[in-house]
Amino acid sequence: MPMFKEWQVNRLVGRDFVDFADYTPSELNYLLELAEAIKEKQKKGEKYQPLSGKTLGMFFTKASTRTRVSFEVGMYQLGGHALFLSNGDTQLGRGEPISDTAKVMSRYVDGIMIRTFAHEDVVELAEHASVPVINALTDLHHPCQVLADILTLKEHKGQLEGLTVAYVGDGNNMANSWIQAAPKFGLNMRVATPVGYECDPAVVAQAKQFAREFGTELVVTNDPVEAVAGADVIYTDVWASMGQEAEQAERVKKFAAFQVNEELCKHAKDDFLFMHCLPAHRGEEVTAGIIDGPHSVVFDEAENRLHVQKAILVATIG
């Protein structure tokens, strides 16, 4: 593919990446193109270090494997440096206001990444920081993962517009980010959840507006078969996310009919892709035969977290 034009790198400098709401389709596709170009450079062994001398502060109040490693490796490969800051390492853990932390950190680092529980904390951090803030996961949204998923989908299908993605399971941060992003990429979206576990109502209303604006389909249902019928992609996530461990037994009962298994997948297209953000619980939300089978692209998604996040870092930090 042709390399991105160097002038394009400055398009999003200084912007936060909190969710998909404030990004246009053009800007989101630019991030995908930038990720593709950076990935191509890496595969060729070409050094690309536009963030030489730059530092990323990384706040974690939730445990992480892929997020921490991909951001740290990404900053290193881009020539920069990443600082890991757990809740016990900072004054945030002792009650310092988020606004104060944002103002202080903005004088030390070139960008802030945060993985936490309350989405409002990320919004407040971005409001008071004078450097870009990247949402690496909250209970409401997980935009870095969904952008990596969409890059993976584009790589495997060759195009995005008109494809149908079926999300089956908990209406959590993954589902929220998917319905928010899908219309801006020309994707049709269907979400099937058990009653009482639907996506955030405000995000659904926003996503419906985006679907009308961009001419795509958005279906929200409690029937997994309706969601999967004729779908190009089947997506799922764990039934109990971090912080919901006490609900595990109850959720297993209520979500049993929403397992992504061989029988459910018969309703999708023959060449459907299976996606999962990982970590996965084989035998719960998905059978081993599906996640480890020929339709699964879960490890391609995991790899693409690195490339997409490098694109976000380059685009926003500059």
Q: Do 32 and 138 fall into the same domain? A: yes
| 199 annotated ligand-binding residue | no
In the prediction, which pLDDT does 94 show?
Answer: 77
Q: Do the domain assignments include residue 15?
A: no
- The domain total for the chain is 2
Q: Do the domain assignments include residue 108?
A: yes
Q: Do 152 and 240 fall into the same domain? A: yes
How far apart CA 255 and CA 169 sit, in angstroms, is 7
Q: Do the domain assignments include residue 281?
A: yes
Quickly state the pLDDT bin for 248 (edges 50, 70, 90): confident
- Domain boundaries, position 102: 20-142+305-317
In the prediction, which pLDDT does 7 show?
Answer: 42
Tens-place pLDDT, residues 187-198: 999 999 999 999
| 265 annotated ligand-binding residue | no
Q: Do the domain assignments include residue 1?
A: no
In the prediction, which pLDDT does 114 show?
Answer: 98
Q: Do 114 and 170 fall into the same domain? A: no
Q: Is the pLDDT of residue 303 over 50?
A: yes
In the prediction, which pLDDT does 241 show?
Answer: 80
Q: Do 185 and 281 fall into the same domain? A: yes
| 107 annotated ligand-binding residue | no
- Rounded to an integer, the average pLDDT of 143-163 is 98
Q: Do the domain assignments include residue 6?
A: no
Q: In what order do the strands lie in the sheet with 55-60?
A: 81-86, 55-60, 111-115, 133-137
Contact 103, 110 (CB under 8 A): no
Q: Do 63 and 164 fall into the same domain? A: no
Structure tokens at 14: 């200084």
In the prediction, which pLDDT does 11 show?
Answer: 79
In the prediction, which pLDDT does 113 show?
Answer: 98
Which amino acid is located at 100 in the chain?
A: D
In the prediction, which pLDDT does 2 show?
Answer: 41
Q: Do 138 and 204 fall into the same domain? A: no
In the prediction, which pLDDT does 130 show?
Answer: 98
Tens-place pLDDT, residues 90-114: 888 778 999 999 999 999 999 999 9
Q: Do the domain assignments include residue 103?
A: yes
Tens-place pLDDT, residues 205-231: 999 999 999 999 999 999 999 999 999
In the prediction, which pLDDT does 89 show?
Answer: 83
| 151 annotated ligand-binding residue | no
Q: Which residues are catalytic?
A: 115, 142, 145, 237, 277, 305
Q: Do the domain assignments include residue 13?
A: no
Quickly state the pLDDT bin for 8 (edges 50, 70, 90): low
Q: What angle do CA 288, 222, 176 make, to 5 degrees?
A: 80
Q: Do the domain assignments include residue 275?
A: yes
Q: What is the pTM of this model?
A: 0.95
Q: Do 93 and 47 fall into the same domain? A: yes
Tens-place pLDDT, residues 112-141: 999 999 999 999 999 999 999 999 999 999
Quickly state the pLDDT bin for 1 (edges 50, 70, 90): very low
Q: Is the pLDDT of residue 168 over 60?
A: yes
Quickly state the pLDDT bin for 245 (edges 50, 70, 90): confident
Residue positions counted in the chain = 318
Q: Do 310 and 195 fall into the same domain? A: no
DSSP 59-126: EESS--SHHHHHHHHHHHHTT-EEEEEEGGGSGGGGT--HHHHHHHHTTT-SEEEEE-S-HHHHHHHH
Q: Do 153 and 113 fall into the same domain? A: no
| 26 annotated ligand-binding residue | no
Average pLDDT, the chain: 95
| 305 annotated ligand-binding residue | yes
Q: Is the pLDDT of residue 5 over 80?
A: no
In the prediction, which pLDDT does 186 show?
Answer: 98
In the prediction, which pLDDT does 256 show?
Answer: 97
Q: Do 194 and 110 fall into the same domain? A: no
Q: Which range among 61-70, 75-84, 90-99 shows the weakest confidence by mean pLDDT?
A: 90-99
Q: Do 227 and 282 fall into the same domain? A: yes
Q: Do 190 and 64 fall into the same domain? A: no
Q: Indicate which CATH number applies to the domain containing 97.
A: 3.40.50.1370
